[in-house]
Structure formats: C-alpha cells, structure tokens
Amino acid sequence: MSYKTTPLSVSVCTIIRARRSDLSQLPAIELAAAKLFVGYAPDAVLAETTSLDQFQHAHSRGHLWVALIKAVPVGFAHVEVLEPSVAHLKEIDVHPDHGQRGIGTRLVVAVCDWAASAGHAFVSLTTFRDVPWNIPFYVKLGFVEIGFEDLSSALRGILGAESSRGLDPARRVGMRRPCGARW
C-alpha cells in the first residue's frame, strides 16, 4: 500500500466499522504509526503488528473502526471489552502521512459514542506518560489519568502484559473517560 501526503481536509475522511477487506491493510498502518514512537518504546515492540486473527475477531464483534480516505484505510481504532462497564481502546493508529488532521480525534469520538450507546460507563486506554503529544491529546478528549490505586484489575493486567513485552511500566499510564462526558 502506497501512501502519499496530500493536503486533504478531514471532512473527506469517513469513519466506519471495519470491513473484512480492510483487515489486511491495517498492519502497514500500525508499522508506519509505530515510527512516531522510536525512542519511547523498544524496537521489538515497534515491530509488532496485530495478527489477522485478532483483527478478524475484533471485526466479528464490531470492535474495529477504520478511517477511510477515498475508500482506503488510513487509520483504525481497535476496542476490547474487558469489563462489563468498560470498553478499552486497545489501539488507535493513523498513518503519519494523514496525521494531525483530526482523524485520530474522529476515531476516538466514534469509539466513545459507540461505548456510550452500548451501555458502557467508561472508555479506558493505556498510553505513554512521556510522549509529549499523547496525554494532552487524550485529555483534550475528556480522558483523565487513573491513579495506580484506582486501576481496575483488568487495566492492571494490561499494564502488566505491556511490561512483559518490554514496555517500561514507569513510562505507561492508564486513562479513562466517562461515556456520558460532553466533548
């Protein structure tokens, strides 16, 4: 898949539930987006991609959204429901050629809107504490940091799994947003 940087408005971007035909294109977006985190995560983690089986599972549950420009995926959001009242934003990636145009925001909004309509109380996520743009991006969208003592067992499990993959737990943070929050 070849991506070209063009000055496109976010209005030409469409957010939809992923189609089966989109799934094979998502690992390339993951790898391209991972380059933004060089120096913040181990190279082995940056080289990881979600398996096609995992994408197919998320797709079958309706837990995968894509951002399309001219019918081509340029970003995606992958959700897992780990607790009955919490939808967890497992991953969000936008190809850097299409970054900083509001596509990531639209993906997060789509996930939060879906979570609210599905009856979840919160959307959670984990992210890097020291990447300059990460926490401010999520705070702008209504997410707040969760203190360690307030982390659910599911979120602690996710942070533990991240640590076992080589991510420094001191550089990771759990966040959540109430589904009823206004933008």
Sheet of strand 64-69: strand arrangement: 13-17, 64-69, 72-83, 86-94, 122-128, 172-178, 144-145
In angstroms, the CA 70 to CA 4 distance is 12
Phi and psi for 47 in degrees, rounded to 5?
A: -90, -5
Query: How far is residue 170 from each of residues 90, 160, 162, measured CA to CA in Å?
Result: 19, 11, 11
pTM (2 d.p.) = 0.89
Domain 10-178 homologous superfamily, CATH: Gcn5-related N-acetyltransferase (GNAT) (3.40.630.30)
In angstroms, the CA 10 to CA 12 distance is 5
Sequence-ordered alpha helix ranges (H) in 100-166 = 103-117, 134-140, 153-164
The one-digit pLDDT tens for each residue of the chain (183 residues) are 333 334 444 558 999 999 999 999 999 999 999 999 998 888 888 999 999 999 999 999 999 999 999 999 999 999 999 888 999 999 999 999 888 888 999 999 999 999 999 999 999 999 999 999 999 999 999 999 998 889 988 999 899 898 988 888 888 999 999 997 655
Domain boundaries, the chain: 10-178
